[in-house]
């Protein structure tokens, strides 16, 4: 949950882990509830749940999460790009899973190497297989890369990050 929300900013991850270290006892298990309470990451509104909503084409859930992000925005541009990077990572894994599926391969070891959790992620990907053709997954990856560039100012426009992610989400879900 922590890494899914904070993204790739190692400084931020380190700061959040320091916070947790100060509030938990030695040997205490750090639960989702503790992360949510002390780091401020919602279990219901995070990158992981946004990815699930997009893969499952759940408009309502996706826009509920985006509305939460709008009201509780990440504090830096790195965190916004982290949201986009999380979504593209899932779509790239989905692309590979589709290739495996169409080639008749279903190798649990390979899924683990991809970072796909068999009991939590795989059912979402199976549902996504009903929603996206192989060609649409390729289009989605292209759209996400395009919006990644936009989020970094690559379009010469200073569009609000939430609006960029909202536009990207609409385009992907409508594939």
Is the pTM for the entire model greater than 0.85?
Answer: no
Asked whether the predicted pLDDT for residue 102 surpasses 70, the reply is yes
Residue-by-residue DSSP string for 79-122: HHHHHHHHHHHHHHHHHHHHHHHHTT---HHHHHHHT--TTTHH
Quick one: CA dihedral 54, 92, 47, 142, positive or negative? negative
Give the pLDDT confidence of 54-84 residue by residue, as tens digits: 999 999 999 999 998 888 777 666 677 778 8
Cα–Cα dist 170/120, whole Å: 25
Give the pLDDT confidence of 123-152 residue by residue, as tens digits: 888 889 899 999 999 999 999 999 988 888
pLDDT score for 21: 80
pLDDT, the chain, mean: 80
Cα–Cα dist 112/29, whole Å: 24
């Amino acid at each position: 949950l922590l890494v899914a929300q904070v993204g790739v900013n190692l400084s931020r991850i380190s700061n959040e882990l320091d916070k947790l270290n100060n509030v938990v006892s030695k040997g205490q298990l750090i639960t989702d509830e503790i992360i949510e309470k002390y780091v401020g990451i919602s279990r219901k509104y995070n990158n992981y749940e946004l990815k699930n909503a997009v893969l499952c084409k759940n408009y309502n859930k996706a826009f509920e999460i985006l509305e939460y992000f709008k009201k509780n925005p990440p504090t830096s541009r790195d965190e916004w790009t982290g949201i986009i990077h999380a979504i593209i990572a899932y779509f790239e894994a989905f692309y590979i899973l589709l290739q495996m599926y169409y080639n008749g391969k279903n190798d649990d070891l390979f899924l683990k190497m991809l970072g796909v959790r068999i009991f939590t992620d795989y059912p979402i990907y199976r549902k996504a297989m009903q929603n996206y053709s192989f060609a649409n997954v390729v289009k989605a990856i292209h759209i996400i890369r395009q919006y990644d560039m936009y989020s970094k100012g690559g379009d010469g426009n200073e569009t609000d990050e939430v609006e960029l992610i909202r536009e990207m989400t609409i385009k992907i879900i409508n594939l």
